[in-house]
């Protein structure tokens, strides 16, 4: 596949991928999503032995990615929205599970799908002018590329609720304070800082690094499964004789006599 919106440079196995739609503040249109999918699910994996690490950034100095391309999702129905969200999840999971370190070098606005993309990377380094936010509610939708799940992982439930519901944008220093980004540096130092971290990681065993990525991700998979598991388990317990006995005993103000059935 020929890449149109992603530009690549490879310096001795350190790959920099630049999302290059500067006039649209690097908004993620369908073509860009297709190219991210192609690289992280196929081309990058095929060349994995020659890759030491990846820096993902946006063209220019104004935006990393200013969101999903709003102009493309006008008129989308429920079915189309679900299909697009599912596909977006799969693409961002491919980034999150990529067996080499992927650092988002956030060089400006990281909004909506852009913030979600940065959060799918293993780390985030940002420039001082970076701004983060999930402004989807301004458009009457919610984040569809994992934002409601990953933001909690980085900044905790209460603050995530606030940012998701208010659509407030936060500055680089607050993103750092909250734990959303690892480091804040001057714009001109951004790529060098990301590269320095990748070089340090590249001096370690690549199999161990791949396992670190898999193991850390597994913790959060477990969290998500935990909620699903809770739903199933709750349903299973409500169908038991013990639940009838427990609830009845409460109403009758007596001690329950459970039978394990
Ligand atoms: N999409 C398309 N074009 C965008 C864009 C976006 N998200 N953001 C900016 N642009 C375009 C602008 O339209 C403008 O294009 P022209 O008018 O020049 O043709 C150009 O980029 C420069 O933008 P501005 O002129 O607005 O620049 P300013 O410096 O004045 O403002 C800004 C910068 C970042 C504050 C502003 O551009 C802005 O508010 N942009 C929109 C931010 C935003 O709301 N982003 C979208 C968040 S919602 C889904 C899954 C995921 C999503 C949706 C659905 N499904 C599964 C269905 C995700 C949704 C989002 O990301």
Pair 245, 132 in one domain: no
**How many domains does the chain fold into?**
2
Q: Is residue 134 located within the same domain as residue 223?
A: no
Distance CA 225, CA 237 (A): 18
Would you say the CB of residue 109 lies under 6 angstroms from ligand 1? Answer: yes
256 within a domain of the structure (yes/no): no
pLDDT at position 258: 79
Angle formed by the axes of helices 147-155 and 206-238, to 10°? Answer: 110
Whole-angstrom Cα distance, residue 89 to residue 113? Answer: 11
Residues 34 and 48 in one domain: yes
Does residue 144 lie within any of the structural domains?
yes
Query: Which member of 37, 46, 116, 230 is catalytic?
Result: 116
How is the beta sheet containing 63-65 ordered, strand by strand? Answer: 63-65, 109-111, 131-133, 170-171
Q: Are residues 211 and 105 in the same domain?
A: no
Determine the distance separating the centroid of ligand 1 and the alpha carbon of 72, expressed in angstroms: 11
Q: Could you tell me if 73 and 186 lie in one domain?
A: yes
Give the per-residue pLDDT at 241. Answer: 82
The answer to whether position 259 is within a domain reads no
Question: For residue 233, is it within any domain?
Answer: yes
pLDDT of res. 230? 59
Distance in angstroms (rounded) separating the CA atoms of residues 98 and 201: 15
Residue 176 maps to a domain = yes
Q: What pLDDT does residue 249 have?
A: 82
The model's pLDDT over 55-113, given as tens digits with 9 standing for 90+, comes to: 999 999 999 999 999 888 877 888 888 888 999 999 999 999 999 999 999 999 999 99
120 with 244, same domain? no
For ligand 1, whether the C-beta of 66 sits within 6 Å is yes
Task: Give pLDDT, residue 238.
Answer: 67
Residue 167 Cβ < 6 Å to ligand 1: no
**What pLDDT does residue 234 have?**
62
Q: Which residue has the tokens 């969290």?
A: 223
**134 and 239 inside one domain:** no
Whether residue 258 lies inside any domain: the answer is: no
Domain check: are 76 and 157 in the same one?
A: yes
- 80 domain-assigned: yes
Backbone angles phi, psi at 18, to 5 degrees: -115, 120
Closest atom of ligand 1 relative to the 87 alpha carbon: 56
Domain that holds residue 245: 204-251
Q: Are residues 48 and 166 in the same domain?
A: yes
Domain presence at residue 261 = no
Distance from C-alpha of 3 to C-alpha of 6, rounded to nearest angstrom: 6
- Is there a single domain that holds both residue 185 and residue 242? no
Atom of ligand 1 nearest to the CA of 69: 1
Nearest CA to ligand 1 atom 45: 67
Low-confidence stretches of the chain (pLDDT beneath 50): 226
pLDDT for the residue numbered 153:
95
Whole-number Å distance between alpha carbons of 19 and 57: 6
Provide the CATH number for the domain around residue 93.
3.90.226.10
83 plus 209 within the same structural domain: no
The ligand 1 atom at the shortest distance from the C-alpha of residue 63 is 34
So what's the pLDDT on residue 244? Answer: 80
Active site residue 116: yes
The CA 135 to ligand 1 mean position distance, Å, reads 10
Question: Do β-strands 63-65 and 14-19 pair in parallel, antiparallel, or remain unpaired?
Answer: unpaired
Predicted pLDDT at 260: 75
Return the percent helix, strand and coil in the chain, to nearest 5.
Answer: 55, 15, 30
Whether residue 127 sits in one domain with residue 12: yes
Half-sphere exposure of 67 (CA within 13 A, CB side): 20
Is pTM beyond 0.75? Reply is: yes
């Amino acid at each position: 596949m020929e890449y149109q919106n992603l530009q690549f440079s490879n310096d001795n196995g350190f790959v920099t991928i630049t999302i290059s739609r500067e006039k649209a503040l690097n908004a993620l249109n369908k073509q860009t999503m297709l190219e991210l999918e192609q690289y992280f699910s196929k081309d990058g994996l095929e060349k994995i032995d020659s890759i030491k690490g990846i820096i993902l950034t946006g063209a220019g100095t104004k935006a990393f990615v200013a969101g999903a391309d709003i102009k493309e999702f006008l008129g989308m129905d429920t079915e189309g929205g679900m299909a697009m969200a599912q596909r977006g999840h799969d693409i961002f999971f491919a980034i999150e599970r990529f067996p080499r370190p992927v650092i988002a070098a956030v060089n400006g606005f990281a909004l909506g799908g852009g913030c979600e993309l940065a959060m799918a990377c293993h780390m985030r380094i940002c420039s001082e002018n970076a701004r983060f936010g999930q402004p989807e509610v301004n458009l009457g939708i919610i984040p569809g590329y994992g934002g409601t799940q990953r933001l909690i992982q980085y900044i905790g439930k209460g603050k995530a609720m606030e940012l998701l519901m208010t659509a407030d944008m936060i500055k680089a220093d607050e993103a750092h304070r909250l734990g959303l980004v690892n480091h804040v540096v001057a714009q001109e130092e951004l790529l060098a800082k990301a590269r320095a971290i990748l070089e340090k990681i590249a001096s370690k065993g690549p199999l161990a690094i791949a396992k670190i990525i898999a193991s850390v991700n597994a913790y959060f998979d477990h969290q998500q499964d935990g909620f699903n598991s809770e739903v199933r388990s709750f349903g299973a317990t409500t169908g038991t004789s013990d639940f009838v006995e427990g609830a009845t005993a409460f109403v009758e103000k007596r001690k329950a006599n459970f039978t394990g059935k």
